[in-house]
Every structure is written in C-alpha cells, then in structure tokens.
Amino acid sequence: MRLTITPSIMAKNQRELDASLTKLKNVIKTVHLDIVDGKFAKNKVMTFPFRLKKEFQYIAHLMVKNPEKWIEKNGKKVDIYIPHIEEIKNIGEYITKTRKLKRKVAFALLPETKVKQIASYLKKIDYVLILTVHPGFYGSRYLPSNLRKVKIIKKINPKTKVIVDGGMNPKRVKKAVTKGVDIIVSGNYVMGSDNVKERLIKLREKI
C-alpha cells in the first residue's frame, strides 16, 4: 500500500462541514472525520445529523462513548469507522459482527493504551489508528513516543494498516514515515490553512 495523507475535519455544524469539504474539493479523495461526543473527550464535534458530499470517501474516527450505537445509526454514511478499543466491551464479538456486515475492522488506541491490548486480535484487524495526541482538539500536545507502536503492530501483523493521527506537520511526518506508517492524518496543519493543496504538497514532500 502506498503511504497516503488524509486531512481531518472537525465541524460543529453542517455549515462548517460543508465549508471544509468545499476546501478539499478536487484536492483529495479521502477525508477523515473526527467525531467527538463531549463525553469521551471534552470537545463536541460532528454530533449533529450530518450530511456528506458524495465525491469523497470517508473514514470516521469515533471518539465517543458507546460507539456501536453510533455505528448502528450512522455507519452506512462512511466507508470506514474506527471506534476506540477502550470503548468496545467484547472485542471478538465486535470483530465478528463487523465482518458479517462486510466492513473493514478498525480500532483506535488512546496514547496510554498499549498494543498488547489488541495483540491477540491483530491478525483479524485491517486498520489501527495510533493517536500521537490526547483526543478532542486540534493542536493538542504532540506525544512522539507513541510512534513506537507502529513497528510493534507491523511485527505482529505486517498486513494491518497503521494510521497515525495527531500533530502531523512536515517535520513530524518525516519521522512517522521511517516507522512504517501507512496513512497519516493531518488536521490543523492542513485545514487551518487557506491553501490546503499547498499544505498537502509540503507533507507529501517528506514521504
């Protein structure tokens, strides 16, 4: 798989979401949506009954309590949904259910969560999202030690795609690439600019 860079969106209402998607039109094919319910993390974004533009593919990072309820309600709107492993009560049962729905199995890990919590399931997991910041807000403090998880995951199952999310700028992307990451998510660095295309080019130059 070719390493890809995906911009992430945090929107508090449909107007903000539409504006962000418009900025990305004809620039990128896949968009990362941050969903935060105000309970899992202090921020609250994408909690409205959102509508998505059809020209993109969507990955939804579920920073929510009871993610399976969110999936039942909104799962069909997105291509891949990534709940936090810490919020899944029965991991094996969740994997089986997700496979029956013919969906990719993906989990996110909080910075404090060790890979060993999912190690026994990694052969059945398509994607793991590693957070290099504490969740909920753009611009949170960068935690580089979490990049060590990439190689641990790849050693157990080289086929599992690893996503790194949090504080990704050109300097940090370069280091993430050396660890073997597959997908890099960049939020504030890309979406905080008036020229998202230029910012994406700067990130790609470091791959």
Per-residue pLDDT at 2: 75
- Taking the domains of the chain in order of start, what are their residue ranges? 4-204
Q: CA neighbours within 13 Å on the CB side: how many for 141?
A: 3
Helix boundaries (H) for 8-117: 14-24, 67-74, 91-100
Query: Model confidence at 157, in pLDDT bands (50, 70, 90)?
Result: very high
Residue 167 has pLDDT above 70, yes or no: yes
Averaged pLDDT of the chain? 94
Predicted pLDDT at 7: 97
What is the average pLDDT across 48-64?
Answer: 97
Question: Three-state DSSP class for 204?
Answer: helix
DSSP string, 60-78: EEEESSSHHHHHHHHGGGS
Residues 5 and 24: their CA atoms lie apart, in Å, by: 13
CATH number, domain 4-204: 3.20.20.70
CB-based contacts of 174: which residues, under 8 Å, 6+ apart?
206
| pLDDT at position 140 | 72
Please report the pLDDT score of residue 42 as a whole number. Answer: 87
For the stretch 87-138, pLDDT in tens is: 999 999 999 999 999 999 999 999 999 999 999 999 999 999 999 999 866 6
Residue 1 has pLDDT above 80, yes or no: no
